[in-house]
Structure 1
């Protein structure tokens, strides 16, 4: 056996190559409150309950109590109306999957209606559960869902209408009231994906921000997802899916007594679930409380405002849409390459997330701003300005015409291992090459591929990464 201290030393060495999860320098994937006691509390609570199993609440009533407490807290935040129930899940994607699953039982050959800016989790849900997806274009300037177009897309097969509060890509809030009214008029469920905004927008509103209503007080809203491991600043992975009534929730529960073992009862997609994430989330929410979250929202709102204003002052950059939450997406003029800007920022110690062009949305860089970014805005903006200047000096990233022609000829349905290996080699990602320090050439190459081909290429690359 390896000594425990050697194993932990090895783990620390492995983690040294990861993006930093604290300090506000990774503006995607992680949510940092900037409060060290929140992390230590979550870790301690996780350890206390990690061996408990959420499969059976009668065996571990502490987990039942904590789950009900978290659901109650989320329900208070998102409308505080009678009858709301919920489930704690492993994350936003599972919450969205369960919302779709619960709605699927309503009609044969079901479909879901969603704006093109809805999170890809709903694409996954439609794929897994066999629903037809009706994608509705959004306003090409504001990137908000079009209520009239959404209403027109609802038909007799529709079981669920989806809108975002806010959408991930641009941080804009869809017109929830109008869309919910259209869904209610047709007797269709309406889900609000507030995974990223549900725990922060209500506090922004208390601080004076003009946040249109999006919770259960909006007539027609039947379910809401809100992630605790985002702006509730809880350890990953916990989310809450709320339903307006127990009747609406019932169809995502699962039971099976038709085998010789115990009667299987599941409230979520998972069966066995460690009590660790649940206990960690409960402890953090109990610790921070209303006052703590209001303070975190206040400093986060200030950081967003400063960064947004600063982006507008950098020549060639502009923020997309009118974001109301903690997410910003900005694009650039033709004088420089945004993928190069991302590389330059990484060289300066910042991670910003590239987003490919899609419909009316151009190539852009995405920022997830958290409380930990408060105070470091001047440094971030100075490095961003320097990165833009460096990208201008470097000039455009070009794709070899022969490689572009090779990519254009690929069929995602018939892509062979040999073709994929050739493309990896052309991108400098051949066998044993590892990830390059600069991703702009790779992203430029991927940008030439239509979405179905890009999906296939990246899935093949993912499979190659996950090969021991």
Structure 2
């Protein structure tokens, strides 16, 4: 007996809402989602999730099945990524939580430091800036090579100092898909007695298979001397349901500062291995089921399909005048930039109109504005259509020319101070730009051009206001 709506009606409403989202299958959304293209995998994950969703990972003695699932998952990840008998790990809610915990554990391993720092390349994932903000660890940001976009090993080593608690490397970096020189930098960190974390969230499950297929992938995993921890997301190239990630540690002593216990209240003694206390067993069970179902041979085949798609797309991009791939990516990520007479954000809009989503990335340092493509196994088979549509989109963008902002709009943007920006100023900027309130517009080229004019600090502030307005009660 229910006083609310019938279940069928509720599900119908949900289906109607979901109809307006980007597609999560079919390889047309080249960011945010990871599609194996295998039939039955989603259904298996959903069924396993349902079986364990009511179990609570807060207490592994109450739900020993979840303990077994987590240890199995960690062992599988460790075997793939250079771990040994001493390797331990934790399953987290996603890559950001894994990165946060790596920073928190490093900070808490050095309680003698009042102002700890960490050395990161300027291509390190923004999750590490979030960790710095949350945990009071100052980031020492080192520019990467302006051509390869890889971390500079000498500059990274030189940035390590007495207050450094962690050095962070990417395998690969999200923005350009290149693997940092882990061997050299991890050695420098080890000589200084500093932890070294490898963010392999997006590449860890596919790079070992790419190497077996002949791709020259630099060494990056726990087998590299000096690497003390590594993160890998299962909801990426392990094609598990969101959200599961694994944070691996070389041994239990490295993980220990991450573990939290509190008996300073009259209730149960809180004991946590991750940032969460209550943790649904659903994502854990779903990941465990998918990993066992696909297996190592299955992941090798999925990696082969992905690699074929990557190579086909890279070769095809080279034939489209005005378009090129940034750097020399080793993984399954491509970043495409345009010549000056082409507007990269217009290309993105034109691809959206053709039912492809390519993720715009703003210029930063030596990296120009570009379009990010996360290529998955489901991309194989649609490469030629994507390239044909991309060539058409480039043609339209060339004919349209660069997006021109009105001088008065540019002046307004350049005159804004992110430290004192008010909601009223944000609303005024929308009005000057001719936008009727906050929403999700169909075309983004002009908005992205406005954001690219803004400094990174102002862009952050503007987008915070945008997010705040989006997540407000309907009026």
TM-score tier, shorter chain, comes to over 0.9
Partner residue of 1:73? 76
Partner residue of 1:414? 420
SS in structure 2 of the partner of residue 259 of structure 1: coil
Equivalent residues, number: 467
Quote how far apart the aligned CAs of 1:430 are. 3.1
Partner residue of 2:158? 152
Partner residue of 2:325? 319
Partner residue of 2:225? 219
Partner residue of 1:379? 385
Partner residue of 2:293? 287
Partner residue of 1:101? 104
Partner residue of 1:447? 452
Residue 11 of structure 2 is aligned to residue 5 of structure 1? no
Counterpart-to-counterpart distance in 2, 1:454 and 1:115: 21
The 8 Å contact of residues 95 and 201 in structure 2, kept in 1 or not, is answered as: yes
1:205-234 deviation digits (Å, cap 9, x = unpaired): 111211111111110000000000000000
Q: TM-score, normalised by structure 2?
A: 0.97
Partner residue of 1:456? 461
The 8 Å contact of residues 26 and 379 in structure 2, kept in 1 or not, is answered as: yes
1:145-164 deviation digits (Å, cap 9, x = unpaired): 00000000000000000000
Quote how far apart the aligned CAs of 1:457 are. 0.2
Counterpart-to-counterpart distance in 1, 2:64 and 2:314: 46
Quote how far apart the aligned CAs of 1:437 are. 1.2
Partner residue of 2:316? 310
Alignment map for 1:308-457 (pairs within 5 Å): 308-431=314-437, 434-457=439-462
1:63-99 deviation digits (Å, cap 9, x = unpaired): 0000000000000001032200000000000000000
Q: 1:35 aligns with which of 34, 38, 42?
A: 38
Counterpart-to-counterpart distance in 1, 2:346 and 2:328: 25
The 8 Å contact of residues 83 and 250 in structure 2, kept in 1 or not, is answered as: no
The 8 Å contact of residues 429 and 436 in structure 1, kept in 2 or not, is answered as: no
Partner residue of 1:236? 242
Q: 1:276 aligns with which of 282, 288, 310?
A: 282
1:222-262 deviation digits (Å, cap 9, x = unpaired): 00000000000000000000000101101011100111000
Unaligned 5+ segments in structure 1 are: none
Counterpart-to-counterpart distance in 2, 1:349 and 1:420: 31
Quote how far apart the aligned CAs of 1:416 are. 1.6
The 8 Å contact of residues 35 and 377 in structure 2, kept in 1 or not, is answered as: yes
Counterpart-to-counterpart distance in 2, 1:284 and 1:395: 47
Counterpart-to-counterpart distance in 1, 2:248 and 2:290: 20
Q: Which segment is superposed worse, 75-84 or 445-454?
A: 75-84
Alignment map for 1:113-128 (pairs within 5 Å): 113-128=119-134
Unaligned 5+ segments in structure 2 are: none
Quote how far apart the aligned CAs of 1:435 are. 2.1
Q: 1:62 aligns with which of 37, 55, 65?
A: 65
1:374-396 deviation digits (Å, cap 9, x = unpaired): 00000000000000000011111
The 8 Å contact of residues 83 and 222 in structure 2, kept in 1 or not, is answered as: yes
Q: 2:19 aligns with which of 16, 20, 42?
A: 16
Measured on the aligned residues, the alpha-carbon RMSD in Å equals 0.8
Counterpart-to-counterpart distance in 2, 1:80 and 1:221: 11
